[in-house]
Amino acid sequence: MKIAGLLKQIDQIDTFKRYGRVKRVIGLMIESQGPQSSIGDVCYIYAGSQQKRKILCEVVGFKEENVILMPYTTVNDISPGCLVEATLKPLEIKVGAALVGKVIDSLGQPLDGSVLPKGLTAVPTEQAPPNPMSRPPISEPIEVGIRLIDGLLTVGNGQRVGIFAGSGVGKSTLLGMIARNTTADLNVIGLIGERGREVREFIERDLGPEGLKRSIVVVATSDQPALMRIKGAYTATAIAEYFRDQGLNVMLMMDSVTRVAMAQREVGLAVGEPPTTKGYTPSVFVVLPKLLERTGTNENGSITSFYTVLVDGDDMNEPIADTVRGILDGHFVLDRDLANKGQYPAVNVLKSISRVMNHIVSESHSKAAEKLREILSTYINSEDLINIGAYKRGSSKEIDEAIRLYPKILTFLKQATHEKVTMQESIEALYQFIQEGE
């Protein structure tokens, strides 16, 4: 029976190779006459004086009867007439437990130049999101080891959260803290469009040996072609999906989804899409939901995901921030003013929300968190009057209470970078604060 099955598979193998020829190169695009292929298929271009070097490309569109390709790497030696070979398959990467602790590129190859371990499984980078009816509801919290988040913005196992901030407000530091302290089985970290200098700094300083030994890091630096940056996000998501299907609770962190959108804009403009909102092409707003909806829960396991969003000029309503906020299950806003005051993590509690918190925590925990928010809001709204001495003590019972408790609130919100706090300790600290205020 086995031999019969193998013979049947051999009969079904397409041994016919399809070729085309490069016709012209325009900017980021390579136009070729043939080969027969589909959108998303990988092709090889044989470049160089003797056409011995193979350049990996992807089919991104068609123009009349020509195929439009985009390379995964920079190209300098492609000339008219270079041979183009079709694989008739989309990009696949190899994944397995032996990949844990590795730093890889968008194509799944180790960045240190080592050889991939044996026994890995090939998976496509682009997959459909889980069926909505097969997604179990988020019913339990996941510990991230940060008092402010576990206490006031509790994250559910399988929740998708956006971290919104301008540059230099502490996004990478926050992700490093989560990666080291979380109770998830595995971290998958996508560094998309990062400066080359910051990659090693993040791995050695923010993530550290403790975090790296339970993580897989996917890197696509800002100098790489747009397609590599897009594929970096897809590769990180595909790796997380593979381990979710193995029954694990995976923590996916992507820094940043804004740079994925910028890379998609580059591709869209290159293939002739019209620029719309702030220069972003329509395909950007199609790609984002497809990418972000792939994470979350399914019948086997879960992917809890954190996506950082760069907000230009701290504008929370710019197109990408607005779109991502509408797709995800919550958002944390990092405030530059809080960072300037030395409050880390610089999460603005009053502007942040976890949409599933009330469904996964006890009623007493929810009420305690709401009480702290009320006291903090009262103080912030009256802060200018208090600072200039215009408020007279005794005028308002609520403001008097807020002034008395504000230093204790700050103590609760602040946390040293390498300080680990369990969820139980965070909840107990919250209850203790409420008791002191009564």
- Residues 106, 192 share a domain: yes
| CA 34 vs CA 18, 67, 82, 226, 369: distances in Å | 8, 6, 12, 23, 62
**Could you read off the pLDDT of 388-398 as tens digits, one per residue?**
777 778 788 88
Q: What is the DSSP letter of 130?
A: P
Q: Is residue 4 part of a domain?
A: no
pLDDT of residue 313: 64
Task: Please report, for the domain that includes residue 302, its CATH number.
Answer: 3.40.50.12240
Average pLDDT over residues 29-40: 87
- Residues 306, 158 share a domain: yes
**Could you read off the pLDDT of 310-341 as tens digits, one per residue?**
887 666 778 899 999 999 999 999 998 888 88
- Residues 300, 330 share a domain: yes
pLDDT of residue 366: 94
Q: Structurally, how many domains does the chain consist of?
A: 3
**Could you read off the pLDDT of 169-206 as tens digits, one per residue?**
888 889 999 999 999 999 999 999 888 888 888 888 88
Work out the pLDDT band at 104, boundaries 50, 70, 90.
very high
Q: Is residue 10 part of a domain?
A: no
Work out the pLDDT band at 81, boundaries 50, 70, 90.
confident
Q: Is residue 7 part of a domain?
A: no
- Residues 175, 84 share a domain: no
Give percent of the chain above pLDDT 90. 49
- How many Cβ atoms are within 10 Å of 372's Cβ, its own excluded? 22
- Residues 174, 319 share a domain: yes
Q: What angle do the packed helices 257-270 and 319-327 form, to 10 degrees?
A: 120
- Residues 257, 152 share a domain: yes
Average pLDDT over the chain, rounded to an integer: 88
pLDDT of residue 438: 64
Asked if residue 27 has pLDDT above 80, the reply is no
| CA 313 vs CA 164, 265, 319: distances in Å | 12, 20, 13
pLDDT of residue 400: 87
Q: Are 348 and 338 in contact (CB under 8 A)?
A: yes
The reported pTM is 0.90
Domain boundary among 73, 90, 107: 90
- Residues 77, 204 share a domain: no
Q: Is residue 48 part of a domain?
A: yes
- Residues 46, 102 share a domain: no
Work out the pLDDT band at 60, boundaries 50, 70, 90.
confident
Q: Is residue 171 part of a domain?
A: yes
Domain boundary among 358, 390, 421: 358
pLDDT of residue 15: 62
- Residues 291, 392 share a domain: no
Task: Please report, for the domain that includes residue 60, its CATH number.
Answer: 2.40.10.170
Asked if residue 75 has pLDDT above 70, the reply is yes
pLDDT of residue 54: 87
**Could you read off the pLDDT of 224-278 as tens digits, one per residue?**
888 999 999 999 999 999 999 999 999 999 988 999 999 999 988 888 888 887 8
Separation between Cα atoms, residue 187 and residue 421, nearest integer Å: 19
Q: Is residue 177 part of a domain?
A: yes
Asked if residue 99 has pLDDT above 90, the reply is yes
Task: Please report, for the domain that includes residue 372, its CATH number.
Answer: 1.20.1270.330
Separation between Cα atoms, residue 205 and residue 99, nearest integer Å: 21
Domain of 68, in residue numbers: 17-90
- Residues 284, 140 share a domain: yes
- Residues 213, 116 share a domain: yes
pLDDT of residue 302: 94
Work out the pLDDT band at 12, boundaries 50, 70, 90.
low
pLDDT of residue 312: 72
Q: Is residue 414 part of a domain?
A: yes
- Residues 372, 249 share a domain: no
Q: Are 105 and 220 in contact (CB under 8 A)?
A: yes
3-state helix, strand, coil in the chain (%, to 5): 40, 25, 35
Separation between Cα atoms, residue 202 and residue 175, nearest integer Å: 9
Which of the given ranges, 25-29, 165-169, 375-379, has the highest pLDDT on average? 375-379
Q: Is 314 helix (H, G, I), strand (E, B) or coil?
A: helix
Average pLDDT over residues 403-410: 90
- Length of the chain as a residue count: 438
Q: Is residue 232 part of a domain?
A: yes
Domain boundary among 325, 341, 358: 358
